[in-house]
Amino acid sequence: MQLDLSGKVVLVTGAARGIGAAIADAFRAEGCTVVRLDLASDGFPADPDVDLVCDVRDSEATRALAADVERRFGRIDVLVNNAGILAEGLLESMGDDAWDRSFDVNVGGVFRMCKAVIPAMQRQRSGRIINAASFAAIVPSVGSGAYAASKAAVVQLTRVLASELGPYGITVNAYAPGMVPTAMNGFAEMPQAAQDRLLDTLSLRRWETPQDVAQLLVFLASDAAAYLTGALLDISGGKLATQMPQRAYELAAEAPTA
């Protein structure tokens, strides 16, 4: 399979930590020039050449940033819209602010970043846009109303963009991770019983790693995925596959060993 991405210019939003940092590392390992975007923080920017402060809620900033990247690197081949926030709470008591922020970052951020890079990709007649959705876009959890609704919106935005950009040779896809312990969710800090309850919802019954996600994105950006567009790729370790997958583990535990 041909996964040669060397020389591609890749933008990754929310790349200072978590899954985004691993995505940036994976593309760098493939020989890409990776521009990491995030809000300013203690550790960011770390490399002033390729780390750019950008709030995806800011139209003007995203437009200026895309123009700057195209001027400096000559093109924009891949945009990964990874930046996202999780505002948890029951809908009955959720404030307007948490709801609005969820949509502003998770959906508005994707919309604004896409608008910013589309002119360059249209001129090139090529490009890959890859959007972070979530399993919650398909099967939401109690207390995830704003997050789940915003991620479902990302999936539909992806499909519409895929059709609008097909004539320019630009593909647009979304992916749905399952449960990756990061600062966003604190899974790894939960009591063991709570962790086990979550792990019991997975066919593969282990936490997802940021690298599990990053490897899918390398594939999506490669020539091997040239005919994939408008899709939602499930990379949830089987969270969306069956009910009660732990039953298989009970049966496997009873099976004779060699």
DSSP one-letter code for 166: G
Q: Which is nearer to ligand NAD, 126 or 231 (CB)?
A: 231
| H helix and E strand count, the chain | 8, 7
Q: Binding pattern to ligand NAD, positions 172-211, x when CB under 6 A?
A: -----x-xx-xxxx--------------------------
Q: Which is nearer to ligand NAD, 180 or 216 (CB)?
A: 180
Q: Which residues contact 87 (CB under 8 A, 6 or more apart)?
A: 94, 98, 99, 101, 102, 146, 147
- The enclosing H or E element of 119 equals helix 109-124
Whose tokens are 């990776």? That residue is 34
Q: Which is nearer to ligand NAD, 131 or 222 (CB)?
A: 131
Does 82 contact ligand NAD by CB under 6 A? yes
Which of 9, 113, 132, 199 binds ligand NAD (CB under 6 A)? It is 132
For residues 154 and 137, the answer to whether their CB atoms sit within 8 Å is: yes
Determine the interface stretch with ligand NAD among 55-63, 72-80, 88-96, 217-225 (rule: CB under 6 A). Answer: 55-63
Q: Which is nearer to ligand NAD, 55 or 77 (CB)?
A: 55
Q: What angle do CA 153, 146, 84 make, to 5 degrees?
A: 70
Q: Binding pattern to ligand NAD, positions 139-158, x when CB under 6 A?
A: --------------------
CA distance 230 to 143: 28
Which of 38, 51, 70, 212 binds ligand NAD (CB under 6 A)? It is 38
CA distance 174 to 32: 21
Of 147, 168, 175, 227, catalytic = 147
Size of the site for ligand NAD (CB under 6 A): 27
Give the three-state DSSP class for 76.
coil
Does 20 contact ligand NAD by CB under 6 A? yes
Does the active-site annotation cover 227?
no
Distance of closest approach, residue 225 Cβ to ligand NAD, in angstroms: 19
Residues that are catalytic: 147
